[in-house]
Amino acid sequence: MLSKSIEKVLNEQIRIEAESSQIYLAMACWAEVKGLEGVAGFMFAQSNEERDHMLKFVKFINERGGHAHISQLKAPNVTYKSFKDMFETLYEHEVLVSESINNLVDISLQEKDYATHNFLQWYVAEQIEEEAMARSILDKINLIGDDKGGLYLFDRDIQQLTITSASTDKG
């Protein structure tokens, strides 16, 4: 059985994961209308992944005797100065999500809720991966600079990353 305080913070994480999905969906739309098909495909896949993360929280809360709540979401930014700006925003957002997950882990340990602590370990590992991926993408973008040919190749490369990650589903 979940304590009310754990249930409350897990429900807050549902909102964060849902907003993550919306942020990446908005990024996908922005990239698609800019002709960056690879980036758009990558962002659509990220959006779906974040929704899956949200649903795992929903199921966990309900299975543990709590009540998952779906709340209103803050509208995401829908425009970016550049694709570099968009990926910097993605990285900053992943850092915020990591901080939130780490806070949940801390609360679960304070309350000696080891089932929740165990459940959260998947998210801890996932966030390490998400931050590393975002940093790696930013490194590539910084190498490209203003080279249009480099942007074209980057867009194709990230499309391959999407195909590869979809076929090696981590779900």
Task: Report the alpha-carbon angle 32-34-36, nearest 5.
Answer: 60
Mean pLDDT for 21-40 is 96
The CATH number of domain 4-167, selected from 2.30.30.230, 1.20.1260.10, 3.40.50.300, 2.30.30.60: 1.20.1260.10
Mean pLDDT for 135-151 is 87
Place of tokens 């100065």: 81
Inform me whether the pLDDT recorded for 99 exceeds 70. yes
Please report, in range form, the residues annotated as the binding site: 17, 50, 53, 94, 127
d(CA 27, CA 90): 9
Inform me whether the pLDDT recorded for 101 exceeds 90. yes
Please report, in range form, the residues annotated as the binding site for Fe cation: 17, 50, 53, 94, 127
To which H or E segment does residue 31 belong? Answer: helix 4-33
d(CA 64, CA 1): 5
Task: Write out pLDDT tens, residues 146-170.
Answer: 777 888 888 888 877 655 555 554 4
Mean pLDDT, the chain, rounded, equals 92
Residues 89/31, Cβ–Cβ less than 8 Å: no
| Dihedral Cα 73, 64, 7, 107, nearest 10 deg | -120
Q: What is the pTM of this model?
A: 0.89
Mind giving me the DSSP string for 118-148?
A: HHHHHHHHHHHHHHHHHHHHHHHHHHHTT-H
